[in-house]
Chain A
Amino acid sequence: MSTKSNEVLLSLEDICKYFKVSGGTLKAVDHVSFEIHKGETMGLVGESGCGKSTLGRVAMGIYPPTSGKLSYKGKAVNLKHGSDRFNYSKVAQIIFQDPYASLDPRMTVSSIIEEGMVIHNMYDEKRRKERVYELLEMVGLNREHANRFPHEFSGGQRQRIGIARALAIEPEFIVCDEPISALDVSIQSQVINLLSDLQDRLGLTYLFIAHDLNIVKYISDRIAVMYLGNVVELASSDELYKNTLHPYSKALLSAVPIPDPNEEAQKKRIIISGDVPSPINTPKGCNFAGRCPQVCDQCKESKPKLQEITPGHFVACHLVQPQKK
């Protein structure tokens, strides 16, 4: 489905993003490091409030990280620096979750799609108009739609406009922030198919954020599971589903309902009690310790580090240790 390579496109090193709120510091993303390879789809899953969207926005350059290093093709990107940020926005784009809120209702489709090209001073006016038509056709709309306003479109069509806007400036890396969760089931598959076709055609790299684990497994090459600001497990999608190691990932995967009554009846569901704790003033030990069914004393004392257990499979848990050779 995607043209994978081992060339590192984007690397996040020890990224933290804190927000000052009344009552303390909200650690939305806390010491997260991983790399995204060129041409792959990296899935990012977790429950609401785990920091996946914040991480996506850091990766895309909307939020400058509190600390840590973001580098693109080996070069550091300083998001606090205006021109760096501007240049980075030329290569990294985002597709938002809500196609109703992310399009300006007072702009025509053509001006929405064109805006990025105007900002980045691409092409002359005539060529830009042609490019808008090309993009509309590329995402399965037609050129007559260019002069309409967003309210004239259905949810699925709006999401296509959002995709066309993201593609307009020919980016290499796209953050898809829950692009399908606001859409109906039959429309979801249309958008997923479109995204994978575009990846094949244009060699795009995706960071795909979602909470629907079946979709993430289908579209992603590798998946990172986040819990309360930390990446707790990272592996190729087959490996993660076949050989789940972290207790949280296990519970998360077992909680996903399967659209098959027989399988559903046989499945043993691990129900973890309680809710996700507040990310303000997180505990000293492992963030999952309060809900973990296998919690031990060490978990409450120190935070486990993300380590490579088998090649390409990273887990942050005291109970899972790499086998010594």
Chain B
Amino acid sequence: MAKDTKKVVLDVNDLHVSFDTYAGEVKAVRGVTFTLHEGEVLAIVGESGCGKSVTAQTVMKLNPMPPARIPQGEVHLGEHDIVKASEKEMQTLRGKEVSMIFQDPMTCLNPTKPVGKQIVEAIRHHRKLSTAEAKAEAIKYLKMVNIPNAEERAKQYPHEFSGGMRQRAMIAMALSCNPKVLIADEPTTALDVTIQAQIMDLLAEIKEETDTAIILITHDLGVVAGMADRVAVMYAGKIVETGSVEDIFYRNAHPYTQALLKSLPSVDADKTERLVSIAGTPPDLLNPPHGCGFAARCKRCMKICQEEQPPEFTVGEGHVASCWLLHPDCPSPEERGEKDVD
């Protein structure tokens, strides 16, 4: 694959993140491994509470520690070791090497400062520029994210911006120091569909122009289909399947991925057809199950699924899934006595 020749910008290896709460240790992320190459869009999909945001926040070390802990695992951002990095080191990395766009643009901008000033602040922290130069840079980036009348807009406060414009300003701020990795944590969830289309268009443009690697965290599979190069599906703190976007949508191997895709009504869905729903709810990560996290809701669950965690099996090139059904010794559906698996 052509991707392999590109430089790896982020390497996450067997990452565990736990939160110490009064109720006990919540194992939010339980062994996540992925790599991100230059200029690539990796989508992390999953339901709320599956650990996708915690994973991304750990890359930037935004989780307050304590209560968060990293019991084991490694995160390498270029040549920097994030797990060992001190807060001071992190401050030089955040914004410069890796930056983030948050879900809610309303609460992520400082309401007491003009938008332009906030961008200048980020630029001046990392780049040795005079105030006037930084101001010109800020306006350049605001123009780049298609904010009309950028010179005037830079002087306005966040409340004078609409939701879509605030998100654009956030993107401008995130890009202002040319980060190698851009983490977009549900960048369009709070926006309307027509505005969502505008923002996705902008992100695609940025990817073309700047070679920034993007981690796109979302639960909207439609957005994933349009944007991502590779997809990681997370469930109960683990990545259950990784592959190219075609692998995940057309050649998926994990029952959770399959159920997730089937639970969406397609545009030409037959109305008499019932939606396939996944019964039950995700497991409580205070006491994560011994076996596969999805076992309790899986229609094809076997005895081993409840007892042991499935290792990763290679499905195709660059396509791996963690499910016992993929084990070479796994009996066929007929032998297991399954009738109609749907």
Contacts and interface: CB of A to CB of B under 8 A. Distances in A.
Contact of B193 (A47, A189, A261): A47
Interface string B60-91: 00000000000000000000000000000000
Given A185-B264, A192-B275, A47 B47 contact: no
A215 B271 CA distance: 11
Interface string B272-285: 10111111010000
A255 B194 contact: yes
Interface in B188-231: 192-198, 200-201, 219-226
A257 B47 contact: no
Contact of A252 (B194, B220, B259): B194
A313 to B, nearest CB: 19
A281 to B, nearest CB: 17
B128 to A, nearest CB: 36
Given A259-B222, A264-B226, A214 B265 contact: yes
Interface stretch (A14-22, A167-175, A269-277): A269-277
Interface in A152-203: 154, 156-157, 184-190, 192-193, 196
B222 A184 contact: no
A257 B225 contact: yes
A155 to B, nearest CB: 8
B165 interface: yes
A34 interface: no
Contacts of A271: 194, 197-198, 201
A86 interface: no
B267 A241 contact: yes
Interface in A235-258: 241, 251-252, 254-258
Contact of A257 (B162, B223, B249): B223
A251 B198 CA distance: 11
B266 A255 contact: no
Contact of A186 (B47, B198, B245): B47
Contacts of B165: 275
7 contacts: A154-B281, A214-B222, A256-B267, A257-B200, A257-B220, A259-B261, A261-B225
Interface of A: 1, 47-48, 154, 156-157, 184-190, 192-193, 196, 211, 213-215, 217-218, 241, 251-252, 254-261, 263-265, 269, 271-273, 275-276
Interface of B: 47-48, 162-165, 192-198, 200-201, 219-226, 245-246, 249-250, 259-261, 263-267, 269, 271-272, 274-279, 281
Given A214-B266, A217-B269, A259-B249, 15 more contacts: A1-B271, A1-B272, A47-B194, A184-B219, A186-B259, A186-B260, A189-B264, A196-B274, A214-B222, A257-B223, A259-B224, A259-B225, A259-B266, A264-B222, A275-B164
Q: Which 10 A-B pairs have the closest CB atoms?
A: A257-B222, A218-B265, A255-B197, A47-B192, A189-B275, A189-B277, A259-B221, A184-B47, A186-B278, A189-B263
